[in-house]
């Protein structure tokens, strides 16, 4: 499968049979190389309800008919808009036709802000363990450093991890380096930085210091094949 980074926390996974999009924040994401009007999607996975993660989900799913997998309250909210959404919760796993999804905890918040400023409660924030053909990708989501990352690293053989480094809204580089030691992935890709002024970071300075696993500062549009 081919995994591509698209800026902020946007990741696409292309398998032999499915186009999977994770946290497709395209409109308003100055870093993103995708076009919400043409991007392919069979499945959209969402880590939490914040607008910089749900992004263009509704429009993409309406155009493509993609199914959505999200934490329960967010899935219910999207289902109320006529979309096909499968709700899960922290610690639960499910075998889909495209692969296995397990939601991990994340220390963060989760809500969706409507255009009129109304906040919708979207349940807990999470991270996503996506296993396809014996390869496991861990999209850590938005989170602070928390010690159960060590448990997640011990209990899962993680091939590729997407780790936030932006600081301010998530862990910053120093905490993310500790997270990488605990997650113990073969490859680490930093995400959630340089989208906004408050999360400006140097991804190469970060990946140079990654001690456990190989740090790969993917540029927008760059891919890894697993
Ligand atoms: Ni967030
Ligand atoms: Mn975010």
Query: Strand 119-121 to strand 43-45: parallel, antiparallel, or no bridges (unpaired)?
Result: unpaired
Compute the distance between CA of residue 142 and CA of residue 153 in angstroms, rounded to an integer: 17
Compute the distance between CA of residue 116 and CA of residue 69 in angstroms, rounded to an integer: 26
Nearest ligand atom owner, CA of 48: 1
Nearest ligand atom owner, CA of 49: 1
Give residues with Cβ within 8 angstroms of 187, minimum separation 6: 159, 160, 161, 213, 214, 215, 216, 224
Q: What pLDDT score was predicted for residue 208?
A: 98
Residue 118 CA to ligand 2 centre (angstroms): 18
Q: Is 134 exposed, middle or buried (0-12, 13-18, 19+ CB in 10 A)?
A: exposed
Q: Which helix (H) or strand (E) holds 85?
A: strand 85-88
pLDDT tens sequence for the chain (226 residues): 999 999 999 999 999 999 999 999 999 999 999 999 999 999 999 999 999 999 999 999 999 999 999 999 999 999 999 999 999 999 999 999 999 999 999 999 999 999 999 999 999 999 999 999 999 999 999 999 999 999 999 999 999 999 999 999 999 999 999 999 999 999 999 999 999 999 999 999 999 999 999 999 999 999 999 9
Domains defined for the chain, CATH in brackets = 2-218 (3.60.15.10)
CA 180 to chain centre: 16
Helix, strand, coil % (nearest 5) of the chain?
Answer: 20, 30, 50
Q: What pLDDT score was predicted for residue 113?
A: 97
Residue 16 CA to ligand 1 centre (angstroms): 30
Residues with CB under 5 A from ligand 1 (ion): 50, 142
Residue 219 CA to ligand 2 centre (angstroms): 18
């Amino acid at each position: 499968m081919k995994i591509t980074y698209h800026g902020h926390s946007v990741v696409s996974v292309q398998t032999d049979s499915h186009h999977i999009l994770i946290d497709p924040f395209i409109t308003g994401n100055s870093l993103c190389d995708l076009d919400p009007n043409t991007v392919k999607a069979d499945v959209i996975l969402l880590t939490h309800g914040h607008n910089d993660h749900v992004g263009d989900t509704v429009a993409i799913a309406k155009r493509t008919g993609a199914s959505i997998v999200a934490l329960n309250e967010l899935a219910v909210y999207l289902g109320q808009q006529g979309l096909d959404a499968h709700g899960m919760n922290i610690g639960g796993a499910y075998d889909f036709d495209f692969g296995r999804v397990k939601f991990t905890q994340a220390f963060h918040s989760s809500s969706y802000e409507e255009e009129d400023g109304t906040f919708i409660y979207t349940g807990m924030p999470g991270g996503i363990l996506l296993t396809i053909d014996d390869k496991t990708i861990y999209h850590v989501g938005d989170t602070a450093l928390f010690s159960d990352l060590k448990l997640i690293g011990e209990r899962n053989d993680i091939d590729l991890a997407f780790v936030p480094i932006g600081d301010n809204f998530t862990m910053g580089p120093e905490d993310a380096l500790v997270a990488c030691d605990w997650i113990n992935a073969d490859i680490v890709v930093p995400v959630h930085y340089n989208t906004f002024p408050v999360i400006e970071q140097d991804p190469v300075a970060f990946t140079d210091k990654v001690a456990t696993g190989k740090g790969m500062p993917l540029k927008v549009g760059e891919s890894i094949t697993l």
